[in-house]
Chains A and B, each alone.
Chain A
Amino acid sequence: MTLDALPLDASAMIRSVRGDGPFRRRLLELGLLPGTAISRTGQAPLGDPLSFRVRGAVLCLRRSEAACIELDQP
């Protein structure tokens, strides 16, 4: 499963982060590393972007960006 499919209020562990070099590096530096817990907190009224809580902060990711993050099946 990828992060964009994570249901509201559910949480999971990150397995891997794919994507373009700079974008991937940014996500990793924000602490979205394999093994990190992440939960979905909401979405914008137009359905995109989505918001996630990770390491105590709330980050917004577009659906296409969230699709770069692979999750471990719970």
Chain B
Amino acid sequence: MSDAADCHAPPTAKREGAPCIALIGNPNAGKSTLFNAITGGSAQVGNYVGTTVDRQSGVMRLSDIGPVNVLDIPGIWSFAARSPEERIAIEAALGLDGRPAPDLLVLVTDAPRLQRSLYLVLQALELEVPVVVALNLVDEARDQGRLPDINNLSEALGVPVVATVARTGEGLDALKAAISQQLQHPRTVPPPHRWSEALLADAAELIPLLPSRFSGPAARQRALALWLLLSIDDAAALSDQPDLPRDAALRIRERATTAGRDLVAEIVGQRYAWIDARFSSFVNTADREGAALSDRIDRVLLHPVSGSIVFLLVMALVFQALFSWSAPAVDAVGAGTSTLQGWVQQGADWVELRAPLGGATPIFGDLLVNGILGGVGSVVEFVPQIALLFLFIAILEDSGYLARAAHLMDRLLRIAGLPGKAFVPLLSGFACAVPAIAATRTMPRFRDRLVTMAVIPLTSCSARLPVYALMIGALFPEFLPNTAVPARPLALFGMYAFSTVVTLVAALILGKTVMPDVATPDVIELPPYRLPHLRTVVWAVWARVADFLREAGRVILVATVVLWALLSFPRYSPEELLAQSPELQAQVTAETDLEALTRPLAIEKSYAGWIGHTIEPVIEPLGFDWQIGIGLVGAFAAREVFVATMGVVYGVGDDVDENSLTLREKMLQEKRVDGTPRYTVLTALSLMVFFAVAFQCLSTLAVLKRESGGWKWAGFVVGYITVLAWVLSFVVFQGGRWLGWG
């Protein structure tokens, strides 16, 4: 986040430098498109302090006054503060968040659904700040024969109103002219609607108790008093407000209720009363109502049969893209990393040969090759999947289908206590948790987001497949005993079914315990279908990729280096290791590659080996030993690393994959101390269950920390999942033994 393109300035009354405007509007009113259109490519995404709500800002150039900072405030229905998004909106609009207030609010309204947009406009006017109204989507209104009369609207509101179509650029010059005019000669008007005497009396009682940061003109204080009356109730919302106005607001509400008044209906109703009384002078309501084309499309896309088929096809497409189509790009990144690693390794070898710096060069080379380059590689490897997923999400959202998908899945996901909007992130989790957790941003409520991102690591991502394949291939019989039922595909299917059930049950339990539902359910709006706007889509994809690289990338890189150190230190030369092991000495012949021979011992002597030994008592009841323990440490970089780590542990080398016959044979030959085979079907099952559940992905941890806004929730998720994985594996292994399978 660069402060240059932001409303950052010393919090003084008069700001030096560029003026600042803020865009405010309903969701689906085309605010993001308008923002992108007027700021060009200058936009930057950051976060509002202490939240993960996007804070987008950019610069607009005006011919007469030069650069103007533009702040894009999240889409809201109302200024009343019940959700983090709504709170941010009013705080950003008034500069209550410690930053200077914008010089001008641009209300982005939705011409075809003008009544509801006007509700937000009236709230803004109550604050008595300079306002310009952008009447957006006038093309849609025109097509419906419901084009509002701009002059009447502007006259009634007392502020400039400009007709715009953000996606085509229509009216943007006029909008910029109006903004420029208002910035040079700021003018505030009193709101056009009137409050009842009773409400004015209630507000007057509250005004002296308002905190000092709410100070300002009398009209604004009254608006804030009414805002508090509307926002506060017994729920935890606004619990951080000072007790004095909060208690007073609660008392006033209670008194009103006792008197048979309904404060909420009064405040909301008096705004709508003005809208309803004037509306026929803005729009000719005699014309036919509504968006006929969207309704016809919905007859097909929300139909029980055709709607379900289209939904399944769309979701299959998204999943396929994430699961398979991203593979060439991911492979290319991997190959690129390997090539680069090869060059650097050669360079290090070359230096070592000519100027051996007391053994420092190989260590440094290894750090560069396997630590840093490996880490960068594993960050960049996620980019294709994140870009693809957000490409689909942006297209689906911009076209209006994402809201339909949420509508279709709402009933099903309610079983797990989640809203329909959780479907796309959860489905994506079966490909990769990293883009999936990032995709929870499409969910409007923070509480739903936290629950969803807490269970996404339980969905069986594609990195688990190599582990399943190794275990099933090595240990499962081809057919179920005494039948012709193929056992291996069944086992694989079983793992996916298991993962789905665990995910949904976990969501249900978390939603009832640690994250009880907050009171405001999200009301989904089905916006009219529109053609996706290329620039908005590209911007959305780029914003997410950049955010991932900047925020999660750092954590992943550092963690990869730490993990590399665990697996690489303390370091011993092959000769030192050989001297410690008479067993290995016996195997040495003239052409033995000493390094390859001693690698299993080197990893056993590393910190990772020490961890493997240390955790052995804990994982023993699950059927695992210290060698698997080392594999579990290695798997923390990424689950698929488990296979390579096991290859090293068993002396087959790290150049193995899940189909490696040598690795499978080696595993089958491993014995316990008592001579029984180390790996049985039961061990394999226990290990697969462990892998299906356990939190073994640093990148997921990094993105979880990023999207939940801190380590607290991320730490909780790691903790509960680790316990859950242990318990489930324990039940499988010990239960299986008790049943006599082991």
Q: Which residues of A contact B (CB under 8 A)?
A: 20-31, 33-34, 41-49, 51, 53, 55-62, 65
Can you give 29 A-B contacts (C-beta < 8 A)? A21-B233, A21-B264, A22-B82, A22-B519, A23-B519, A25-B230, A26-B77, A26-B521, A26-B523, A29-B77, A41-B295, A41-B298, A42-B298, A44-B407, A44-B411, A45-B305, A45-B408, A46-B411, A46-B412, A49-B411, A51-B302, A53-B289, A55-B115, A56-B112, A58-B294, A60-B524, A62-B410, A62-B414, A62-B521
0/1 string, B303-342, CB within 8 A of A gives 1: 1110110000000000000000000000000000000000
Smallest CB–CB gap between B278 and chain A, Å? 14
Say yes or no: B302 contacts A45, CB within 8 Å. yes
Question: What residue in chain B is nearest A56 (Cβ atoms)?
Answer: B113
* B411 near A22: Cβ-Cβ < 8 Å: no
The 8 Å CB contact of B264, one of A25, A31, A45, A56, is A25
CA of A44 to CA of B413, assembled, Å: 13
B contact residues around A21 at 8 Å (CB): 233-235, 264, 519
Report chain B residues within 8 Å CB of A24: 264
Among B265-273, B711-719, B733-741, the one that faces the other chain is B265-273
Contacts of B626 in A (CB 8 A): none
B116 and A31 form a contact (CB under 8 A):
yes
Question: Of the candidates A27, A33, A58, which one forms a contact with B526 in the assembled complex, judged by CB atoms under 8 Å apart?
Answer: A58
Q: Which residues in window 188-236 of B have CB below 8 A to A? A: 230, 233-235
Q: A22 with B235: in contact, given A56-B114, A60-B524 (CB under 8 Å)?
A: yes
A26 touching B116 in the complex, CB below 8 Å, given contacts A45-B408, A59-B526: no
- Residues of chain B touching chain A, judged by Cβ–Cβ distance below 8 Å, are 77-78, 80, 82, 112-116, 119, 146, 230, 233-235, 237, 264-265, 268-269, 272, 289-290, 294-295, 298-299, 302-305, 307-308, 403, 407-408, 410-412, 414, 518-521, 523-527
A27 adjacent to B115 (CB under 8 Å): no
A20 touches B407 (CB 8 A): no
Residues of B near A48 (CB, < 8 A) are 410-411
Q: Contact at B290–A56, with CB atoms within 8 Å? A: yes
- Which B-chain residue is minimally distant from A27 (CB atoms)? B523
Contact indicator A20/B519 (Cβ below 8 Å): yes
Q: Is A25 a contact partner of B302 (Cβ separation < 8 A)?
A: no
Across the interface, which residues of B come within 8 angstroms of A27, CB to CB? 523
Of the candidates A42, A56, A60, A65, the one having the most CB atoms from chain B within 10 angstroms of its own CB is A56
- Residues of chain A within 8 A (CB-CB) of B410 are 44, 48-49, 60, 62
Q: What A residues does B82 contact at CB under 8 A?
A: 22, 25-26
Tell whether, in the assembled complex, residue A56 and residue B115 are in contact, meaning their CB atoms are under 8 Å apart.
yes
Contacting residues, chain A, for B77 (C-beta < 8 A)? 26, 29-30
Assess whether B116 is in contact with A30, with CB atoms less than 8 Å apart.
yes
B525 engages A60 (CB within 8 Å)? yes
Can you name the residue of chain B whose Cβ is closest to the Cβ of A47? Answer: B411
* Chain A residue nearest in CB terms to B146: A56
- Taking CB atoms, residues of chain A closer than 8 Å to B305 are 45
Given A22-B519, A31-B119, A62-B410 in contact, is the A45-B80 Cβ separation under 8 Å?
Answer: no
Q: CB distance B407 to A60 under 8 Å?
A: yes
A53 to B116, CA, bound (A): 13
Name B123's closest neighbour in chain A (CB-CB).
A29
A30 adjacent to B290 (CB under 8 Å):
no
Cβ-defined partner of B523 (8 Å) among A34, A56, A59: A59
A30–B146 alpha-carbon span in the complex (Å): 20
Cross-chain contact B411 with A55 (CB below 8 angstroms)? no
Identify 15 new A-B residue pairs, CB closer than 8 A, beyond the known A28-B265, A44-B408, A62-B410: A22-B518, A24-B264, A25-B80, A25-B230, A25-B264, A29-B80, A33-B272, A49-B407, A49-B410, A49-B411, A53-B290, A55-B113, A56-B115, A59-B523, A60-B524
Q: Which residues of A contact B233 (CB under 8 A)?
A: 21-22
- Residues from chain B with a CB closer than 8 A to the CB of A29 are 77-78, 80, 119, 268
Residues in chain A near residue B119, CB distance under 8 A: 29, 31
For B78, list chain A residues within 8 Å (CB).
26, 29
Residue with the greatest number of chain A CB neighbours at <10 A, chosen from B82, B407, B408: B407
**Residue from A23, A28, A44, A57 within 8 A of B525 (CB atoms):** A57
Overall SS of chain A's interface? mixed
Please list the 5 inter-chain residue pairs (A to B) with the smallest Cβ-Cβ separation, ordered nearest first: A46-B411, A58-B526, A45-B304, A22-B520, A60-B524
**Chain B positions within 8 Å of A30 at CB level:** 77, 116, 523
CA distance A8 to B269 in the complex (A): 28
User: Which residues of chain A are within 8 angstroms of B268 by Cβ–Cβ distance?
Assistant: 25, 28-29, 33
A3 to chain B, nearest CB (A): 13
Chain A residues with CB under 8 Å of B307's CB are 45
Chain A contacts for B265, CB-based, 8 A: 28, 33-34
Closest to B412 in A: A46
CB distance from A43 to the nearest CB of B (A): 8
Complex Cα distance, B283 from A14, in Å, reads: 22
A17 to B550, CA, bound (A): 47
Chain A residues with CB below 8 A from B302, complex form: 42-45, 51
State in angstroms the CA–CA spacing of A65 and B489 once bound together.
43
Please measure, in the bound complex, the distance between the C-alpha atom of A59 and the C-alpha atom of B235, giving whole angstroms: 25
CA distance A5 to B235 in the complex (A): 30
Bound-complex Cα distance A46 to B307 (A):
11
Instruction: Give the Cβ gap from A36 to chain B, nearest Cβ, in Å.
Output: 8
Query: Residues of A contacting B112 with CB < 8 Å?
Result: 56
Compute how far the CA of A11 lies from the CA of B229 in the bound complex, rounded to whole angstroms.
Answer: 33
Distance in angstroms between the alpha carbons of A27 and B522 in the assembled complex: 10
Look across to chain B and name the residue whose beta carbon is closest to the beta carbon of A43: B302
A51 touching B526, Cβ below 8 Å = yes
How far is A25 from B289 in the complex, measured between Cα atoms in Å?
26
**CB proximity of A40 to chain B, nearest CB, Å:** 12
Residues of A within 8 A of B408 (CB): 44-46
Nearest chain A residue, comparing its CB with the CB of B115? A55
On chain A, the residues within 8 Å of B264 by CB distance are 21, 24-25, 28
Of the residues B411, B523, B527, contact of A61 by C-beta under 8 Å = B523
CA distance A56 to B112 in the complex (A): 7
Measured between beta carbons, the chain B residues less than 8 angstroms from A62 are: 410, 414, 521
**Cβ-defined contact, B235 with A31, below 8 A:** no
On chain A, the residues within 8 Å of B230 by CB distance are: 25
Q: Chain A residues near B403 (CB, 8 Å)?
A: 60
A55 to B117, CA, bound (A): 11
Which residues of chain B are near A25, meaning CB under 8 Å? 80, 82, 230, 264, 268
B295 touches A31 (CB 8 A): no
What's the least CB distance linking B389 to chain A, in Å?
A: 24
Residues of A contacting B272 with CB < 8 Å? 31, 33
Give Cα A64–Cα B501 distance, bound, in whole angstroms. 26
* Chain A contacts for B518, CB-based, 8 A: 22
A45 touches B308 (CB 8 A): yes
Measured between beta carbons, the chain A residues less than 8 angstroms from B80 are 25, 29
Cβ distance A44 to chain B, nearest Cβ, rounded Å: 5
Closest to A42 in B: B302
Q: Which residues of B contact A60 (CB under 8 A)?
A: 403, 407, 410, 523-526
B157 nearest CB across to chain A (Å) = 18
* Complex: A29 Cα to B265 Cα, angstroms: 9
Distance in Å: Cβ of A28 to nearest Cβ of chain B: 4
| Bound complex: CA A65 to CA B265 (Å) | 18
Provide the residues of chain B in CB contact with A43, threshold 8 Å. 302
What residue of chain B has the Cβ atom nearest to residue A20's Cβ? Answer: B519
How far is B570's CA from A34's CA once the two chains are assembled, in angstroms?
Answer: 75
| In contact, B407 and A57 (Cβ under 8 angstroms) | no
Minimum Cβ distance to chain B for residue A46 (Å): 4
